[in-house]
Amino acid sequence: MAIGRSDETDLLLPLHEGIHEQRPWTMFLQRLRQRVRADVAGILIKDDAGTTQWLAVPEGSEVPTGLEPLRQRPERVYAVEENRFARVVRVDAAGGGHAWLLIQRAGRDFTAADGALIGRLAPHLAIALRTRVALERRDRAAAAAAGGLKRVGIGWVAFAEDGRLLSLSEQAETVLGARHMAFGGITSLVRKCMTTGQLELVPLGQAPVTWMLLLPVEPVRGVASTPMRVLGLIRVPHEGSEAEQAEALMAMFGLTRSEARLASAVAGGASLAEAADSLGLTIETARNYAKRVFAKTRTRGQVDLVRTMAGSVAGLA
């Protein structure tokens, strides 16, 4: 039996829209509970890491735990053995992720029509689950990329083919402030960058001058929205510290803490005398530390040391 027109409006639309709710599928489960006169309507989510979470189950309600036997037959409705006044159906997401849709009440059993309804909803829940899993993976990837760029002090701005601003990172917006509203003035440079395939440098302010590096990028296939064709990169305050970099240097090169602090200060642009002063060392002690640092890192002076550190993961700290 097909899902009726009223159920399409009351149940299917909230089911597919529910992946965007702050607590997914809340509206769908509220309406399903009303539709079948259940005390409880909930979805148990099990992600590809094995973590489980109940969604939209009223606080204090008891939910069945014996769902493991349902692994064998997805999208088939079962009565829960621990409570015969409950129906549950399992769906899977390709590549990982499972969900169980449950309805439960006390006092009397559900009708065959109630069980058939959640069976007909199962394929739609499977589609919504796959979408939710895909969105979560995309969000994790985006969060990891944003965290890495923030760590090393890089903000980004995305431009369309015609030079319009598409989006920018939180760090870039913080540094640029209201200036990002005036990007129309660099439209010609964005187009030039895309046409020639070569880098362009854009001054964005004064005292001090903030520069943006424009890079041409290939459009992502399968993206229906306006594609990004030029990426702008700017320097922003990074989250690392000399203390954290010193810890990385100690682990990588076997430096002592004092040696690592000196190396980190030099890598940050300080001269040997400036590093000695900031660390409370005499210039002779700093020179002795520097000699040991050069030996342990197999570098031939300060320039070589800075180059080595910038090219290693210690530079990310």
Q: What is the pLDDT of residue 121?
A: 93
Handedness of CA 146, 148, 152, 156 (dihedral sign): negative
pLDDT tens digits, 70-90: 556 888 888 876 666 888 898
Q: What is the pLDDT of residue 17?
A: 92
The average pLDDT across 236-241 equals 72
- CATH of residue 312: 1.10.10.10
Q: Which of 204, 235, 266 is the last residue of a domain?
A: 235
Same domain (yes/no): 84, 161: no
Domain extent for 15 = 5-139
Residue 55 lies in a domain: yes
- Quick check: 68 pLDDT over 60? no
Q: What is the pLDDT of residue 1?
A: 52
Same domain (yes/no): 19, 132: yes
- CATH of residue 22: 3.30.450.40
In the chain, % of residues over pLDDT 70: 84
- Binned at pLDDT 50, 70 and 90, residue 122 comes out as very high
Structure tokens at 137: 């993976």
Same domain (yes/no): 223, 258: no
The answer to pTM > 0.75 is: no
Sequence-ordered strand ranges (E) for 128-229: 154-159, 165-168, 200-203, 211-216
Structure tokens at 142: 């985006």
Q: Which of 9-23, 172-186, 251-265, 267-281 is least confident?
A: 172-186
Same domain (yes/no): 28, 59: yes
> What's the residue count for the chain?
317
pLDDT tens digits, 265-308: 887 778 888 988 888 989 999 899 889 988 988 888 888 888 88
What single letter denotes the amino acid at residue 147?
G
Residue 147 lies in a domain: no
Residue 20 lies in a domain: yes
* Edge-to-edge strand list for the sheet holding 230-235: 165-168, 154-159, 230-235, 211-216, 200-203
Distance CA 173, CA 155 (A): 8
Q: Which of 201, 235, 269 is the last residue of a domain?
A: 235
- Quick check: 29 pLDDT over 90? yes
- Binned at pLDDT 50, 70 and 90, residue 176 comes out as confident
Which 3 state secondary structure label does DSSP give 33?
A: helix
Q: What is the pLDDT of residue 170?
A: 83
Alpha carbon of residue 240 to chain centroid = 20
Q: What is the pLDDT of residue 180?
A: 55
φ, ψ (nearest 5 deg) of residue 221: -70, 145
Q: What is the pLDDT of residue 66?
A: 58
Same domain (yes/no): 115, 44: yes
Q: What is the pLDDT of residue 119?
A: 92
- Quick check: 36 pLDDT over 80? yes
The average pLDDT across 145-158 equals 84
Q: Give the count of domains, the chain.
A: 3
Same domain (yes/no): 227, 252: no
- CATH of residue 208: 3.30.450.20
Structure tokens at 163: 């030079």
Residue 144 lies in a domain: no
Structure tokens at 248: 């990385």
Same domain (yes/no): 127, 64: yes
